[in-house]
Amino acid sequence: MPMAASEIEALIRAAIPDAEVSIRDLKGDGDHYAAKVASASFAGMSRVRQHQAVYAALGARMGGELHALQLETLVPSGDHQ
Amino acid sequence: MSDANQRIDAIVKGDDIVLFMKGTVLFPQCGFSSRAVAILDHLGAKYETVDVLQDPEIRNGIKGYSDWPTIPQLYVRGEFVGGSDIMMEMFESGELQQLVGEKAE
């Protein structure tokens, strides 16, 4: 069952309030997405921990109704000062 | 530890490089698993695979074991490395080559 990109974004923002989220619908079918998530809270976390934080925000949907989500996480530049 | 966790624990510690995937190396059943296989092959890594589609206990158990909701999942020397997106990032940065290349001689 497809999920709207706006719903994915809202879930991530609810859990990671400072997150900058950009989502692309890879196939235009509402079922295969790529998400790029930038948050200062990722600083000092391994990639696995960063992705786990996003997956935690999506909860049980990930791997269920949301099958295909390419994920890229990063710490926004400029937050290192 | 549950039976599934004990089995998974034995698998990830039984080989240097283990990829949990959907399907087999020759016939991956998912684009993400296919990408993971392609990366490891490109690096010339020697790895074992576990087809979670053939084993519901592992398929469900691995998600809790790794605290990771999706397949594929890569383990190197008993440590969880990540899914296919992290594999691709680490491949592009050269980190993955270093990781899978530095196995015991």
ipTM of the complex: 0.81
**What was the pLDDT predicted at A78?**
65
| pLDDT digit string, tens, across residues A29-46 | 777 899 999 999 999 999
Find tokens 């020397």 and name the residue. B77
Q: Sign of torsion, CA B17 B21 B24 B28?
A: negative
Q: How far is A48 from chain B (nearest CA, A)?
A: 6
| pLDDT digit string, tens, across residues B60-86 | 999 999 999 999 999 999 999 999 999
Q: Looking at the domain assignment, is residue A39 inside a domain?
A: yes
Q: Name the band, by pLDDT with cuts 50, 70 and 90, for residue A1.
A: low
- What's the average model confidence in pLDDT over A58-72? 84
Q: CATH homologous superfamily for B3-101?
A: Glutaredoxin (3.40.30.10)
Residue B103 pLDDT greater than 50, yes or no: no
- Cα three-residue angle A12-A16-A22, rounded to 5 degrees: 50
**Helix (H), strand (E) at residue A72:** strand A68-74
Structure tokens at A80: 């290192």
pTM greater than 0.90: no
Q: Is the N-terminal amide bond of A17 cis, ω within 30° of 0?
A: no
Domain residue spans of chain B: 3-101
What backbone torsions phi and psi does residue B102 show, to the nearest 5 degrees?
A: -95, 30
Q: What is the total count of domains within chain A?
A: 1
**What was the pLDDT predicted at A63?**
72
- What's the average model confidence in pLDDT over B44-63? 96
**What was the pLDDT predicted at A81?**
44
Which residues of chain A make contact with B89, given a CB cutoff of 8 A? Answer: 47, 72
CATH number for the domain harbouring residue A70: 3.30.300.90
Range of the domain at A18: 5-74
Q: Mean of the per-residue pLDDT values for chain A?
A: 88
Among A55, A58, A61, A67, the residue to mutate for chain B (most B Cβ within 10 A):
A55
Question: Are the beta carbons of B82 and A48 separated by less than 8 Å?
Answer: yes
